Amino acid sequence: MAEGQNEKPVRAKSKVHQAASKVPKDARRDLLLKSIGVKELFEEGSVKIDKKICKGVECQLCIKACPTNALYWKMGEVGLADDLCIYCTSCVLNCIVDGCIVVKRKLNDGTAEWFSTPGEALALLRNMNNDKRVATTSKILIDDEAYLKRYRKNRFKVENAIK
């Protein structure tokens, strides 16, 4: 064989990949997430996939649902790129097997939460939205007196106008 004929072509690495391989893991994660336009919402977390009950061969729905492509297909099973995972609920919400994917994450305020079924993930999302609604309402109506002051006047004006 001629020289160089048996060699595999070398694939050029992207600038982001080259830069990412030279920096520490946390900085690399920040660089990768920034390059795809994703904001980090959780301080830390982990994802575990139970390979014994995973039906990824049949569906691969979690891979299709992952917004950062952290889940991928590797040699007959679902693989995970830890640097890209943002610990959202997409994979768990789309998995057809309850308990197959377990996501544990820590919020910036120190609260830890975990979920492994779509019902648990939806309950967490519902609670997060409730907390946001309560916070927004609290900003608008600081206390009971402010509420009564704002809305009681209108009611009494209508009642007095009717009499």
Rounded to two decimals, the pTM is 0.61
Sign of the four-CA dihedral 128, 59, 54, 64: negative
Domain range summary for the chain, segments of one domain joined by +? 42-162
The confidence score (pLDDT) of residue 155 equals 52
> Mind listing the pLDDT tens digit for each residue in 54-103?
988 888 999 999 988 899 998 889 999 888 888 888 999 999 999 999 99
Residue type (1 letter), 83:
D
CATH code at 42-162: 3.30.70.20
pLDDT exceeds cutoff 70 at 2? no
The confidence score (pLDDT) of residue 13 equals 47
Cβ proximity of 83 and 25 under 8 Å: yes
Cβ proximity of 56 and 63 under 8 Å: yes
The pLDDT mean for the chain works out to 78
Residue type (1 letter), 122:
L
> Mind listing the pLDDT tens digit for each residue in 114-142?
999 999 988 888 887 787 778 877 777 66
The confidence score (pLDDT) of residue 11 equals 46
Highest mean pLDDT: which range of 14-18, 32-36, 85-89: 85-89
Pairing of strands 77-80, 42-49: unpaired
Cα→Cα distances 99→19, 42, 93, 128, 146, Å: 37, 21, 11, 22, 46
Band (38; pLDDT cuts 50, 70, 90): confident
